Amino acid sequence: MAIGSWLTYQGTVMNKDQVKGRIEEAEGKAKEVAGKILDDGELEIKGNVQKNVGKVRAGMGDLKEDIKKHR
């Protein structure tokens, strides 16, 4: 797989907010699952918050791309 191919989303190159947001979302999900497995409520909550922050950031990146496309 080419290095750039994982940076594409729906056929376009992702902007930095989309990339960082999706990475943040994945890290948060991993922490959330680890918290559930380890029965660590604090880790689970932190992971859930991080996951949702990532979703928001990725959504902002998606919005930026939509605005750029429709100019």
Tokens 């949702």, located at residue: 52
Please name the amino acid found at residue 42: E
Tell me, yes or no, if the pTM score tops 0.75.
yes
pLDDT digits (tens, 9 = 90+) for 6-36: 555 556 688 999 999 999 999 999 999 999 9
Tokens 């699952």, located at residue: 33
